Structure 1
Amino acid sequence: MIQAYQYNHQNELVRPIEVFERDDEGNYVIPDQCTTIAPPNNPSFYKAAFDVEKQHWYESATQEYIDSLKPAPLPPNDLELLKKQNAWLTKQLTQLLAMQKGGNPE
């Protein structure tokens, strides 16, 4: 048994398959739209596709598709909000004290 990798009509990786069948000479019979060339593990691809002519895998995902998979940033938690409020209040207090002393508020 050997491992092969099936790809669709757009040459995108579908799934790994196990090949058991052999021909009369003992060679494994690789099905159509399959290759024994493993897609690279590192770096991993978002949408691996196989270039049949060059016999190698490449990234077929667009940057827009890759970006769409990234989770949205989390909203600030309570502690972060308090830190921002504290910084803003400290700045306001510093400016107020400077104005009372006749200095420049900035």
Structure 2
Amino acid sequence: MKPIYKYDEQKIYVLGADEKISEDEDIPAGFTDVQPQEGLFLPKYNEDKRTWSEAATQEYIDSLQPDSSSADDVTMLKKQVALLTFQVSQLQKGGAS
């Protein structure tokens, strides 16, 4: 058995639609035995070259990335909370003596 990989009318890989066929079977239309390489966000198949390439725009790829500014905001808030907690504890020590 060998794996085959499905692509749609626009030659875009259909995730989760892989199948297996026996070695002597012909590959059906809309499938290839060339595996899409890792790291492609939207693999597109070129039947003539028998290769996969990136079809996603940079804007699409960027939209899939986590928003780094929100992570920075959380880090900044954690630091502020730690500082305020320290200051409150210092005030409490000074007020108790």
Name the TM-score, length of structure 2 as normaliser: 0.68
Q: Provide the alpha-carbon RMSD of the alignment.
A: 2.3
Bigger RCO (CA 8 Å, 6+ sep): 2
Partner deviation per Cα, 1:10-33 (whole Å, 9 max, x = no partner): 10111321114x7xxxx2221101
Q: CA deviation at 1:82?
A: 5.9
C-alpha distance in 2, partners of 1:79/1:7?
A: 46
Give the unaligned 5+ runs of structure 2: 83-97
C-alpha distance in 2, partners of 1:54/1:13?
A: 16
Q: Which among 52, 74, 77 is matched to residue 76 of structure 1?
A: 74
C-alpha distance in 2, partners of 1:10/1:81?
A: 51
| Corresponding residue of 1:8 | 8
Q: Counterpart amino acid of 2:20?
A: E
1:62 aligns with 2:57: yes
Give the unaligned 5+ runs of structure 1: 84-106
C-alpha distance in 1, partners of 2:78/2:31?
A: 53
| Corresponding residue of 1:33 | 30
Q: Counterpart amino acid of 1:8?
A: D
Higher Cα Rg, which structure: 1
| Corresponding residue of 2:21 | 19
Judging by fraction of residues, say which structure has more helix. 2
Equivalenced residue count is 78
